[in-house]
């Protein structure tokens, strides 16, 4: 009974928090004069009505999953990585550089090599704030955000300078982007006529890997211990600063890989603005997924749906896609509040007592 109540209670809190987020969102939608019901229907159901829609949602699930996994590693180790956006950009730059330098490598070599390069690029960008935090106690909130700006500028510099598509100079379409990368880097498209690619298997495999590392190895145990209670970890002989740095490298490497896969699977070239907020949405996905791979995969799908659905609202009901960012913000607030509710055992006991009273009365009435 009590266990059943607990599960039901958690589920109720989650459902209520989604409803609350939608409720608050509704107020804003009303304020801009939109049809609330229709907007939500479009966001939540329209993308799932056809093959293109579903695959496009899955396409967005891939980078969201990978980035959220990385953020989970950092978060569980006691460091909040807000720099995934910049780490992703650095990953894309590294991958692009490798593809431009070695266009003739065979597929079987180039793809792993380029993805690895993306991981290294992102990993370096994760190492910097990790090192600063571990050795000099620099707040990672500041350093990761600032590194996002630096990464964004570097990204623009390379795409407008050394990596600029030579064809761009003649046609001058105005989009800073690299040239079409070698076909040897292309990840296979799974369904003809759609853009969904093999990256989805990589994302799922990485989810399993992260689960195994964090919960099944002594290495992950140490990282989680360092994150859960630093003093106890130190007492237990765990080199906390070292695991902090490693966690940030992994976190950055995942964001970098997400960038590499996005380039190799979808765009086939580095384009300005291609990170499009995935690094930030990844934080929400990680939190919404309960900082656990089993929660992150569905959460990433849900946010993929929101992001793609938002594009449709613009076309179908005339609600700007930016509304989804507003919704995301609201969801973050609601998650944080609902976490506090779940973390309050006293409230749960009270609710349980009330529930038992209520069901007790019902039973009596039924008997009477």
Partner 1 sequence: MEQTTKAITSLRMEHITKRFPGVLACDDISLDIGKGEVLALVGENGAGKTTLMNILMGLYHPDEGRIFINGQEVHFRTPNDAFAYGIGMVHQQYMLVPNMTVVENIALGYKQAWKVAKLDLAMVRSQIGEIAAKYSLSVDPDAFIWQLSVGEQQRVELVKTLCLGARFLILDEPTSALTPQETDDLIVLLKKMAGELSIIFISHKLQEVKDLSNKVAILRHGAVVFQGNTAEHTSSDIAALMTGHEVVLPHNDAPACVLGPMLQLKNLKVRSDRGFLALDDLSLYICKGEIVGLAGVSGNGQRELAEVINGLRKVESGSIIFDGQDITHHNPQQVIAAGMGYIPEERNTEGIVPSFSLKENFILKDNDAPQFCRHGFLNKKEINRNAEELREKFDIRSANADIAAGSLSGGNIQKVILAREISRNPKFLVAVYPTRGLDMGAAEFIHKQLLQKRNEGVGILLISEELEEITNLSDQVAVIFKGKIQKVIPSSEASRRRLGILMAGVKDDEEI
Contacting residues toward partner 1, per CB under 8 A? 2, 212, 216-219, 221-222, 224-225, 228-229, 231-239, 346, 349-350, 352-353
Of 189 and 234, nearer to partner 1 (C-beta) is 234
Write the DSSP assignment of 270-322 as a string of letters: -BTTTTTTHHHHHHHHHHHTTTSHHHHHHHHHHHHHHHHHHHHHHHHT---TH
Of 214 and 305, nearer to partner 1 (C-beta) is 214
Minimum CB distance to partner 1, residue 11 (Å): 18
- Maximum CA extent, the chain: 87
Decide: 94 and 121 in contact? Cβ < 8 Å.
yes
Minimum CB distance to partner 1, residue 338 (Å): 18
Minimum CB distance to partner 1, residue 77 (Å): 13
Minimum CB distance to partner 1, residue 215 (Å): 8
Of 236 and 273, nearer to partner 1 (C-beta) is 236
Sign of CA dihedral 353, 357, 360, 366: negative
Supply angle C-alpha 144, 150, 151, rounded to 5. Answer: 85
What's the rounded Cα separation, in Å, for the pair 25 and 127? Answer: 37
Minimum CB distance to partner 1, residue 36 (Å): 37
> Residue 331: which of 34, 48, 117, 43 has the closest Cα?
43
What's the rounded Cα separation, in Å, for the pair 98 and 156? Answer: 18
Of 167 and 353, nearer to partner 1 (C-beta) is 353
What's the rounded Cα separation, in Å, for the pair 303 and 264? Answer: 22
Of 227 and 265, nearer to partner 1 (C-beta) is 227
Beta bridge partners of 271: 177
Minimum CB distance to partner 1, residue 157 (Å): 41
Decide: 323 and 29 in contact? Cβ < 8 Å.
yes
Minimum CB distance to partner 1, residue 232 (Å): 5
Give the count of beta carbons closer than 10 Å to the beta carbon of residue 347. Answer: 13
Of 142 and 228, nearer to partner 1 (C-beta) is 228
Of 191 and 347, nearer to partner 1 (C-beta) is 347
Cβ neighbors of 79 (< 8 A, separation 6 or more) are: 129, 130, 133, 140, 227, 244, 247, 248, 251
Minimum CB distance to partner 1, residue 239 (Å): 7
Question: For the chain, how far is it from start to end, CA to CA, in angstroms?
Answer: 24
Minimum CB distance to partner 1, residue 175 (Å): 46
> Residue 255: which of 157, 121, 79, 98 has the closest Cα?
121
Both tokens of residue 162? 């050394």
User: In terms of residues, how long is the chain?
Assistant: 368
Write the DSSP symbol of residue 327: H
Of 107 and 242, nearer to partner 1 (C-beta) is 242
Of 27 and 294, nearer to partner 1 (C-beta) is 294
Of 6 and 51, nearer to partner 1 (C-beta) is 6
Minimum CB distance to partner 1, residue 79 (Å): 16
């Amino acid at each position: 009974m009590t266990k059943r109540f607990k599960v039901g209670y958690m589920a109720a809190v989650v459902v209520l928090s989604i409803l609350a987020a939608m409720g608050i969102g509704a107020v804003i939608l009303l304020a801009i004069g939109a049809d609330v019901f229709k907007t939500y229907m479009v966001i939540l159901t329209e993308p799932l009505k056809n093959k293109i829609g579903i695959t496009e949602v899955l396409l967005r699930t891939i980078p969201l999953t990978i980035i959220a996994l990385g953020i989970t590693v950092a978060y569980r180790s006691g460091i909040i990585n807000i720099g995934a956006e910049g780490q992703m950009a650095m990953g894309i730059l590294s991958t692009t550089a490798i593809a431009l330098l070695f266009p003739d490598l065979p597929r079987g070599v180039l793809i792993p090599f380029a993805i690895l390069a993306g991981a290294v690029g992102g990993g370096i960008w994760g190492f910097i704030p990790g090192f600063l935090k571990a050795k000099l106690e620099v707040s990672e909130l500041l350093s990761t955000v600032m590194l996002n700006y630096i990464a964004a500028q570097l990204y623009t510099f390379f795409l407008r300078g050394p990596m600029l598509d030579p064809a761009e100079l003649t046609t001058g379409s105005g989009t800073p982007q690299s040239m079409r990368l070698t076909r040897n880097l292309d990840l296979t498209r799974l369904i003809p006529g759609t853009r969904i690619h093999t990256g989805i298997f990589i994302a799922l495999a990485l989810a399993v890997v992260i689960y195994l590392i964090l919960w099944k190895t002594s290495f992950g145990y140490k990282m989680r211990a360092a994150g859960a209670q630093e003093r106890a970890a130190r007492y237990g002989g765990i080199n906390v600063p070292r695991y902090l740095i490693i966690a940030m490298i992994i976190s950055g490497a995942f964001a970098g890989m997400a960038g590499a896969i996005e380039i190799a699977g979808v765009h086939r070239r580095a384009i300005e603005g291609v990170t499009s907020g995935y690094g930030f949405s990844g934080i929400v996905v990680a939190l919404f997924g309960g900082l656990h791979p089993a929660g992150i995969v569905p959460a990433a799908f849900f946010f993929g749906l929101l992001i793609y659905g938002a594009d449709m609202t613009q076309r179908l009901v005339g609600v700007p896609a930016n509304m989804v960012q507003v919704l995301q913000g609201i969801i973050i607030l609601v998650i944080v509040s609902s976490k506090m509710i779940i973390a309050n055992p006293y409230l749960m006991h009270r609710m349980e007592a009330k529930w038992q009273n209520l069901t007790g009365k019902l039973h009596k009435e039924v008997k009477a």
